[in-house]
A = this chain, B = another copy of it.
Amino acid sequence: MARPTQDVTDAELQVLQALWDRSRATIRDLTEALYPDEGTSGYATVQKLLERLEQKDCVVRDRSEGPPHWFQATVNRDALIGRRLQAVAESLCGGSLVPLLSHLVQQSQPLSASDRKTLESLIARLEQERDQP
Q: Which residues on B sit within 8 Å (CB–CB) of A120?
A: 130
What is the count of identical protomers in the complex?
Answer: 2
Contacts A120-B130, A123-B123, A130-B120; A97 near B104 (Cβ below 8 A): yes
Query: In the complex, are the beta carbons of A126 and B98 less than 8 A apart?
Result: no
Task: Fill in one digit per residue for A85-96: 1 if any B CB lies within 8 Å of its CB, else 0.
Answer: 100100111001
Task: Fill in one digit per residue for A116-133: 1 if any B CB lies within 8 Å of its CB, else 0.
Answer: 001110110111001000
Query: In the complex, are the beta carbons of A99 and B81 less than 8 A apart?
Result: yes
Query: In the complex, are the beta carbons of B97 and A107 less than 8 A apart?
Result: yes
Q: Tell me the bound Cα distance from A99 to B119 in angstroms.
A: 9
**Could you list some 24 contacts between A and B, CB below 8 A?**
A13-B92, A78-B99, A81-B92, A81-B100, A85-B88, A85-B100, A85-B104, A88-B88, A96-B115, A97-B109, A98-B111, A98-B118, A100-B100, A101-B101, A101-B104, A101-B119, A102-B118, A102-B122, A104-B104, A105-B122, A105-B125, A106-B122, A119-B126, A123-B123
Q: Which of A98, A107, A122 has the most CB of B within 10 A?
A: A98
Task: Fill in one digit per residue for A59-95: 1 if any B CB lies within 8 Å of its CB, else 0.
Answer: 0000000000000000001101110110010011100
